[in-house]
Amino acid sequence: MSNSHMEIKELKIVEEAKKPLSMNPKKFALWLFMVSVMMLFGAWTSAYLVKRSDAGWAEIILPGRFLINTIIIAASSLSLIIAYRAARKDNLVLLKTGLVITFLLGLAFVIGQILGYGDLIRLNEYFTGGSVSHSFIYVLTGVHGLHMISAIIFLAVVLSDAFRLRIHSKSMFRLELCSTYWHFLGGLWLYLFVFLKLYP
């Protein structure tokens, strides 16, 4: 049997198997992680509302510092957006500046939250031994703060990438992941802040 004959025999015409719709798995996994974080805080804020409807609820007073912190975290999201846009346009100086500012604002937020605990104590709102409502403030801000610290570490990694010129318009992946997470935590804080203001 000749060789060419073989080849023709092996030529098949079949319908095309379509590539299923998909996105980057890592990005998708991050979104799922954020869903689980939302469920965590959803559980606590629901528990808060249920508990609040009970008799004997001591209304909380949020120290003014938390408003300042809210502004800080909003500003950090803004500077991250600027950095992100700069990276897409390969404006590396602006990218680095934006990331450094975001990093510092993130640190400022966490430190501000810790100082906020001092203010809470001065207002006689304690984590333990006092009212449940006060304990809730610590749990909500504390766990959010832990997530914030993880985001700051992530941002530090991205920052070091940026200084080693590994982030530019053709290599945006880590920055994308990091900004998604960062904005999510900013949004989450905004939610918690407004929630605590609305339902003291």
Residues near another protein (CB under 8 A): 7, 10-20, 22-26, 28-29, 32-33, 35-37, 39-40, 42-44, 47, 50-51, 54, 56-58, 127-129, 131-132, 135, 139, 143, 173
- Cα angle, residue 105 at apex, residues 102 and 107 outer, rounded to 5°: 110
Nearest CA among 32, 42, 34 for reference residue 192:
42
Question: What gap in Å lies between CA 45 and CA 34, rounded to an integer?
Answer: 16
CA distance 10 to 156: 55
* Shortest separation between residue 168's beta carbon and another protein, angstroms: 15
| CB nearer another protein, residue 55 or residue 198 | 55
Q: Which residues contact 82 (CB under 8 A, 6 or more apart)?
A: 94, 98
Smallest distance, Å, CB 67 to another protein? 26
Residue with tokens 């079949």: 14
Quote the least distance from Cβ 72 to another protein, whole Å.
26
Q: In terms of CB distance, is 91 or 174 closer to another protein?
A: 174
**Residue placing its CB nearer to another protein in the complex, 10 or 198:** 10
Please state the closest distance from residue 37 (CB atom) to another protein, in A. Answer: 7
- In terms of CB distance, is 60 or 105 closer to another protein? 60
Under a CB-based contact definition with an 8 Å cutoff, are residues 162 and 95 in contact? yes
